[in-house]
A and B are shown apart, each in its own frame.
Chain A
Amino acid sequence: MNRLSKLAVNSEGFIFDPTTGDSYTVNPTGLFIINSLRDGKEIDQIAEELSKEFEDTPEEISKDISEFVSHLYTYNLY
């Protein structure tokens, strides 16, 4: 989480990690999740909010978010 707070994230989904110099791009949903995590929101809460825009249930969306977070771990961003 500490690492996530250091990232430079723009509104287009471009992410720059100032510790490593690596950059990434995410789609609008990924950007929403990253910004929500940076705001300190829990996965369930983010899923609840996303379920208003998608047809999936909050439980299904939670699974997808967890998978996304595991990618962040892999890239040492979370």
Chain B
Amino acid sequence: MNELKIAVSGINAVDNPGPGVGIARALKEDPDLNVKIIGLAYDAMEPGIYMDWVVDKTFILSYPSSGKDALLERLAYIKKSYGLDYIIPNLDSELPLYTKYTKEIEALGVEVFVPTENQYKLRAKDKLVQVAEKINIDIPKTAVVNSPDELIKAVDKIGLPVMVKGAYYKAERAYTTQEAISHFHKISAEWGFPIILQEVVKGEELNVVGVGDGEGNMIGKLGIKKMWITSLGKIWTGVTIKNELMLNAADNFVKEYKWKGPFELECIVDKNKIYLIEINPRFPAWSYFATGCGINLPANMVKKSFGLPFEENQDYEAGKLYVRYTYETITDMKTFQNVITKGEN
């Protein structure tokens, strides 16, 4: 097949790793695709820049807060100077731009496969109640609050301890109402309103990664349990599982919302009860796990986008282990210099 130039962001393979390197690796390993990987980085130190066996070419982008014009200009430059057929944005901060300006990006001759703007809004924590009901999954007792007075009333109803969460980022556990008020002020100052209060539920944290085709079908999915996490809460060892409650919820999510693109559902499972905790509208950093189990989600998503054949919703084996490890590469200053001076390498 013709060579495809695919850009991936999130090549910051650090202690809080972005998903990019695993996705690049998955695309490179697919026997049907002939890809050149373009790494999109925000900092010259992102390790993916130096992993030339995975990333063929790198461009520095300006931060998403620079807005639409800066992004479109840079993508047009990459398209013209190197070639660019497809982009997989992998960072939360980038998604508002990519979901809002999908048409403008496609007008450059660059394909993207991301949720629509309305679908993207479902990830907001104040929408979780509505999503959970629709996909037949429980949710911890939840209240959306905008003031300390509302918070105090909500804590009375939910009880303590309670999780205090920003609508998109940040979550803190509070053991007293006073502590909850303090988290309320801190999180709202950083991330704005509303603030979500949520019951603390007991159980195991299980996750599922999947890709929806935008028409109600699942391109593929994989369920896992994190067995060992770092101090930042990032997976270091995991195992594949087949929890029907969770996998059915993922299928319902894709079917009910005609979800387009990658997603991760974070759930807490307590015996036969399953709670939805979070929806991430992108690939998680451990997505290569699925590829290693025979379900190449990034490659299948690309194939779907270009109308190429692939096997939908493949099965996998429970009990496969995922183990991260650290590795080092030694290189001279040339790559670093190029990235610093030219913004590309």
Q: Which of A16-48 contact B (CB under 8 A)?
A: 16, 18-22
Tell me whether A72 is interfacial, beta carbon within 8 Å.
no
Please indicate the chain A residues that have their CB under 8 angstroms from the CB of B239 in the complex: 16, 21
- Give chain A nearest CB distance to B53 CB in angstroms: 32
Please indicate the chain B residues that have their CB under 8 angstroms from the CB of A22 in the complex: 204, 225
Chain B residue at minimum C-beta to C-beta distance from A18: B318
A22 to B239: give the CA distance in the assembly, Å. 9
State whether B242 touches A19 (Cβ < 8 A).
yes
Tell me whether A76 is interfacial, beta carbon within 8 Å.
yes
Please indicate the chain B residues that have their CB under 8 angstroms from the CB of A16 in the complex: 239, 318-319
State whether B244 touches A21 (Cβ < 8 A).
no
State whether A20 touches B204 (Cβ < 8 A).
yes
Chain A residue at minimum C-beta to C-beta distance from B205: A21
With A20-B204, A21-B204, A21-B227 as contacts: A8 and B319 at CB distance below 8 Å: yes
Interface size on A, residues (CB 8 A): 8
State whether B271 touches A18 (Cβ < 8 A).
no
Interface size on B, residues (CB 8 A): 15
Please indicate the chain A residues that have their CB under 8 angstroms from the CB of B319 in the complex: 8, 16, 18
Chain A residue at minimum C-beta to C-beta distance from B242: A18
A19 to B319: give the CA distance in the assembly, Å. 10
- Give chain A nearest CB distance to B270 CB in angstroms: 9
Interface of B is mostly: strand
Residue in contact with B225 in the complex, picked from A8, A20, A76, CB distance below 8 Å: A20
Most buried by B among A8, A20, A21: A21
Tell me whether B269 is interfacial, beta carbon within 8 Å.
yes
A8 to B318: give the CA distance in the assembly, Å. 9
A75 to B236: give the CA distance in the assembly, Å. 25
- Give chain A nearest CB distance to B237 CB in angstroms: 11
Tell me whether B218 is interfacial, beta carbon within 8 Å.
no
State whether A76 touches B227 (Cβ < 8 A).
no
With A8-B319, A76-B271 as contacts: A19 and B204 at CB distance below 8 Å: no
Please indicate the chain B residues that have their CB under 8 angstroms from the CB of A76 in the complex: 271
Chain A residue at minimum C-beta to C-beta distance from B246: A19
Please indicate the chain B residues that have their CB under 8 angstroms from the CB of A8 in the complex: 318-319
Please indicate the chain A residues that have their CB under 8 angstroms from the CB of B269 in the complex: 20
Tell me whether B196 is interfacial, beta carbon within 8 Å.
no
A16 to B317: give the CA distance in the assembly, Å. 12
With A8-B318, A8-B319 as contacts: A21 and B206 at CB distance below 8 Å: yes
Tell me whether B91 is interfacial, beta carbon within 8 Å.
no
A39 to B343: give the CA distance in the assembly, Å. 65
With A8-B318, A8-B319, A16-B319 as contacts: A21 and B271 at CB distance below 8 Å: no
A19 to B242: give the CA distance in the assembly, Å. 5
Q: Which of B221-242 contact A (CB under 8 A)?
A: 224-225, 227, 239-242
Chain A residue at minimum C-beta to C-beta distance from B270: A76
Tell me whether B188 is interfacial, beta carbon within 8 Å.
no
- Give chain A nearest CB distance to B343 CB in angstroms: 43
Chain B residue at minimum C-beta to C-beta distance from A20: B204
Please indicate the chain B residues that have their CB under 8 angstroms from the CB of A21 in the complex: 204, 206, 224-225, 227, 239-241
Chain A residue at minimum C-beta to C-beta distance from B223: A21
Please indicate the chain A residues that have their CB under 8 angstroms from the CB of B224 in the complex: 21
**28 A-B contact pairs sorted by A residue (CB < 8 Å):** A8-B318, A8-B319, A16-B239, A16-B318, A16-B319, A18-B241, A18-B242, A18-B318, A18-B319, A19-B241, A19-B242, A19-B243, A19-B244, A20-B204, A20-B225, A20-B241, A20-B243, A20-B269, A21-B204, A21-B206, A21-B224, A21-B225, A21-B227, A21-B239, A21-B241, A22-B204, A22-B225, A76-B271
A interface residue numbers (CB < 8 A to B): 8, 16, 18-22, 76
